Structure 1
């Protein structure tokens, strides 16, 4: 991939310097400085129809957020052919946005909780319809699928963890299904609002990386995000309860839609954790290819994610208070 090609296609001006932010030659992100400014360039290889649908959803939400002056990096419209904000360059897709300076947010940053709650409410207020059933990136797999994967895992390094996880999967899946049966309509949301995607610069916050946008129940998303940004998903007893309350109070004050303050409020968190845990189990089992080290890495990620699911279920009584 040639950044010169991207600069020319998007009309960014003559390149001066580049700095790799993550990834390698076929996918990743770079800061590109040109005579006309500083830009964030992201590239990735083609990823199929599901990715194209996801990119169009992200374009819809990001465009609406920009039009409503939400705090996000300014995305550049791509040249044709394009999918959403991504230019189809043949062997790869590329997108460009204005580069935003700053460091990643940290728990305890002054004003973070209030800003976070207000921003979540503002995203919900965009009121873009969505459907949880259309969420290909985070499906709710039936327990029968998990039992089949656990059987497949026999004799592998994740055999015990996969088998021991089945009761937690059944409990979490049942809770999510019950909650979704009586849930309000879903809306498009950012879905990856964590500290790593919030930049702080001169006292201002910016929400970056909107590419994971998809359907959420706004209240569930607010609860999930408040816990995530307050350390609630890290380890038992690490939740900054005051930060959670401040975030949700700001969300309510800004007019964010509110639901029940019971275990159903955590359905979004559990659904997300279930989907990611399934993905990591597939990696460990070789469903996504890769060599032995790649599968071993998947196994480590699976065990960590399985621990997160156990911890989340065990923390529900504490979180409800």
Structure 2
């Protein structure tokens, strides 16, 4: 599979499948990440976001995500609208001659990036989480992603290092020297409790929030990873992603987010270091996967270089227990 190419033929195919009408004017790449790539498609007098998906999914999973997003929208969470194809599907697979990619289509949000220090943003984050938690939206039928509560075993780390050695990878000494610390972090990871799960966005971090220019309102993007998680772990993820910047912990930001969370009906409390399981597990999995990707000859050179850069950055900034405990203590003092 080649992937989506931003050419006239692909743009016409997508516009026809989603019933946009008229001849599309242009389709250009505008961004992307681990899970896919985003293109802006101008057609029928409007702009649309085409999302090329890198990970396999299916209509049932996407339908659950859309239903959850719609429920969040009804309690005041702004998000892009999801469009269906002319035959009522959310997923569209392009033919092989157009790259064979699987895409979704959403409304385009004309916004600008947020900064974590923006006035009122900490409170918006807390309010958004509180309102969604207040829904207690059931996670029925969705599998919990082990990315958030399982991590590589010591044997897999040793195998990775051996593969890196054989491939002459630059990162081998860095991971080998940190292996003890990585395994100690893994000891903090505990299994999620299935009966405590609710549905959640799972990627509420600054890159996925934009401030719409026309309304000046915050909009939450990228709902594709939505799925089950425990409320306390969701709250811990948000406090870490929004208010920990290197060695600096934004205490006032944490306090503002928690206060807004409570006012909006949020009910979760951080129970201990185990509340940070999702942060720690996803960090360890991310480091492991980025190292693996640098060794995959079938990936493009750009993707391997990006993986190497992400690996280096991640190894330099682990979620160490001391900072996790600092965030926990601030949160407990707020109760």
Give the TM-score category using the shorter length: 0.7 to 0.9
Paired residues of 1:153 and 1:162 also in contact (CA < 8 A): no
Q: Are 2:50 and 2:105, in contact at CA under 8 Å, matched by a contact in 1?
A: yes
In structure 1, C-alpha distance between the alignment counterparts of 2:77 and 2:18, rounded to whole Å: 24
Equivalent of 1:174, from 159, 163, 187? 187
> Residues 80, 274 of structure 1: CA spacing in aligned structure 2 closer, same or farther, 3 A cutoff?
farther
* Aligned residue in 2 for 1:41: 50
For 1:214, the equivalent position in structure 2 comes to 227
Matched, 1:95 2:108: no
SS at match of 1:308: coil
Q: Does 1:258 align with 2:268?
A: yes
Q: 8 Å contact 1:105–1:200 — kept in the other structure?
A: yes
Q: 1:112 aligns with which of 115, 121, 131?
A: 121
Cα pair distance change 1:181/1:63, threshold 3 Å: closer
C-alpha distance in 2 between matches for 1:213 and 1:13 = 30
Displacement after TM superposition at 1:79 (Å): 3.4
Residues 29 and 176 (structure 1), Cα distance of their counterparts in 2 relative to 1, 3 Å cut: same
Gaps of 5+ in 2: 330-335
Aligned pairs (5 A) from 1:69-80? 69-80=76-87
Q: Give secondary structure in 1 for the equivalent of 2:320.
A: helix
Q: Which runs of 5+ in 1 are unaligned?
A: none
RMSD: 3.0
SS in 2 for 1:20: strand
Q: CA deviation at 1:282?
A: 0.9
TM-score (norm 1): 0.82
Query: How far apart in 1 are the matches of 2:160 and 2:280?
Result: 19
CA shift for structure 1 position 292: 6.5
Q: Does the 8 Å contact 1:189/1:214 carry over to 2?
A: yes
Shift of 1:73: 0.9
Q: 1:190 to 1:149 in 2, by over 3 A?
A: same
| Cα distance between partner residues in 2 of 1:35 and 1:294 | 33
Match of 2:156 in 1: 145
Q: CA separation in 1, counterparts of 2:301 and 2:29?
A: 28
For 1:8, the equivalent position in structure 2 comes to 16
Task: Give distance in 2, aligned partners of 1:292 and 1:43.
Answer: 19
1:176 partner SS: coil
User: Do the aligned partners of residues 34 and 291 (structure 1) sit closer, same or farther apart at CA in structure 2, a change above 3 Å counting?
Assistant: closer
Does the 8 A contact of 1:219 with 1:256 survive in 2?
no
Question: Could you say if the C-alpha distance between residues 95 and 312 of structure 1 is closer, same or farther in structure 2, counting changes exceeding 3 Å?
Answer: same
- Answering whether residue 270 of structure 2 is matched by residue 271 of structure 1, we say no
Helix, strand or coil at the partner of 2:188: helix
CA distances 1:54-109 after superposition (whole Å, capped 9, x unpaired): 64553343243345452111111233484xx3223342222211211110111222
Partner of 2:209: 198
| TM-score calculated relative to the size of structure 2 | 0.79
Greater alpha carbon shift after TM alignment, 288-297 vs 197-206: 288-297
The change in CA–CA distance for 1:172 and 1:150 in structure 2 (over 3 A counts) is same
